[in-house]
Amino acid sequence: MAAGGRRVESLIQRIGRWFMPLRLEVQRAVVDARFVRAQGLPPTLASRLVGPPASFAARLRRRQHAVYQDVILAKYARLLPLHYAPGGRGYQTVAPSSSAERHVRYATQTSRLAYFADRYGDLLGYRDGDSFLDLGCGTGQSIRTLVERFPQSRVTGIDVNADALALIRECEPSEHLRLEEGSITDQRFLSGILTTGADHIVMSHVLSLLVGASAEETRASRHRLLRTLAETCTKSVVVIDRFGSRGEFSVEIEQVNRASVADDVLSYFDDDLAGRAFLVRSPSTEAILFIKDGPAAIG
C-alpha cells in the first residue's frame, strides 16, 4: 500500500476510534428512551428529548422496510418462474449434460429428506405401500430416497421444469413412479393432483420460493397452501426449508431471478387442523412435520 493510502487508512481509524464511542452512547440513549416510553416508566431527560423522534424514526423505518419488501416480492413473483423454466439458471446444467453425467448426478445427489425419514419415519407413519407426493421434486433427490426405502409405494413427483423431470425418468426405473409437469401455484393443477390422494406429502426447499406480489399476499397463499396439504394428506406433511422465528417475515435476494422468504411457517398450521405440527432440525436444514390425527395416521 502506498504511503498516501496508509495515511488515509490511519486517519479513518483515528476518526472511528473517536466516533464509535459517541455512536454507542447515542444508541444507548435512544434505546433506553424507547424502553422508558413503551413501559410507562417515570420519564428521564433523555426520554423526553430523544423518545418522540426515536419512536417516529423507528415507525418510519418499519414502514419503509415493509414497502421495500413488497417491491422485492412484486418483482420476484414475476422473475422466479423464469429461474426454474427451461433454460433458466435453476436447472441450466441438466439438459446439456450427457446420459452418463445425468445418471451420476441422480445417483450421487444428496437428499434432505433422508435424515427426517430415517429419524422420524415411525412418527410420520411411513410404511412401504403408502403413497407419497413430492411437490417441487426437482431432479429427484427426495424421490430417490422414497423409492429406495419404500419400493412398493406409489411415488408421485411434481415440478415445473421438464428437463428435471426428464432426468428422473431416464435414471429412475421404478414402475411405481409417476411424474407430472406443472406448478403448485396453479390452483387448478394442484387440485387435480391432490384429488388422486396421498398418504404423505413432501415439499423440500420449495415453500421459501413461493412468493406473492406483496407480504400480505405471500402470507395468505402460504397459509392456504399448507392448510390444503394438511387437510388433504392421509398421514403426514413434511416441509423442509429455511424458516423464520416467531413473527418474522424477511425477504432475501439470492440471484438475479431468485429471492426467498423466511417466515414463521409453523404458525400456518392452525390449531383447528386435525393433527400436530413440530419443528425439527437436521445438521444441514430444518423441517416442519405435520402428523395427521385419526386411525389412518396410526395404523
Residues 270-279: tens digit of each pLDDT: 888 999 999 9
Q: Let me know whether 240 and 170 are in one domain.
A: yes
Q: Let me know whether 204 and 57 are in one domain.
A: no
Mean pLDDT of the chain: 89
pLDDT of residue 298: 42
Percent of the chain with pLDDT over 90: 68
- Residue with more model confidence, 131 or 66: 131
pLDDT of residue 5: 60
The pLDDT of 206-224, averaged and rounded, is 96
Quick check: 14 pLDDT over 80?
A: no
pLDDT of residue 46: 67
Q: Let me know whether 164 and 248 are in one domain.
A: yes
Spell 171-209 as b/e; 16+ CB within 10 A means b: bbebebbebeeebbbeeebbeebbeeebbbbbbbbbbbb
Say if 49 falls within a structural domain.
yes
The pLDDT of 193-200, averaged and rounded, is 93
Say if 16 falls within a structural domain.
yes
Cα–chain-centroid distance for residue 205? Answer: 6
Say if 174 falls within a structural domain.
yes
Q: Let me know whether 64 and 193 are in one domain.
A: no
Cβ-count burial of 69 within 10 angstroms (0-12 exposed, 13-18 middle, 19+ buried)?
A: middle
The cell for 191 is 387440485
Give the 3-state secondary structure of residue 293. coil
Give the 3-state secondary structure of residue 30. helix
Say if 177 falls within a structural domain.
yes
Say if 92 falls within a structural domain.
no
Q: Let me know whether 23 and 125 are in one domain.
A: no
Q: Let me know whether 28 and 127 are in one domain.
A: no
Q: Let me know whether 70 and 131 are in one domain.
A: no
pLDDT of residue 88: 86
Question: Which CATH number goes with the domain that contains 143?
Answer: 3.40.50.150
The pLDDT of 62-77, averaged and rounded, is 91
- Contact partners, residue 299, CB within 8 Å, separation at least 6: none
Spell 230-243 as b/e; 16+ CB within 10 A means b: bebbbbbbbbbbeb
Q: Let me know whether 10 and 59 are in one domain.
A: yes
Among candidate residues 51, 84, 117, the one where a domain is terminated:
84
Say if 43 falls within a structural domain.
yes
Q: Let me know whether 126 and 217 are in one domain.
A: yes
Provide the CB-side half-sphere exposure for 146 (13 A, CA).
28
Question: How many structural domains is the chain composed of?
Answer: 2
Say if 89 falls within a structural domain.
no
pLDDT of residue 299: 43
- Contact partners, residue 287, CB within 8 Å, separation at least 6: 116, 238, 239, 240, 241, 279, 280, 281
Among candidate residues 84, 112, 128, the one where a domain is terminated:
84
pLDDT of residue 149: 96
The pLDDT of 20-49, averaged and rounded, is 76
Say if 93 falls within a structural domain.
no
- Domain span at residue 61 reads 3-84
Confidence band of 8 (pLDDT split at 50, 70, 90): low
Q: Let me know whether 180 and 243 are in one domain.
A: yes
pLDDT of residue 133: 98
Quick check: 45 pLDDT over 60?
A: yes
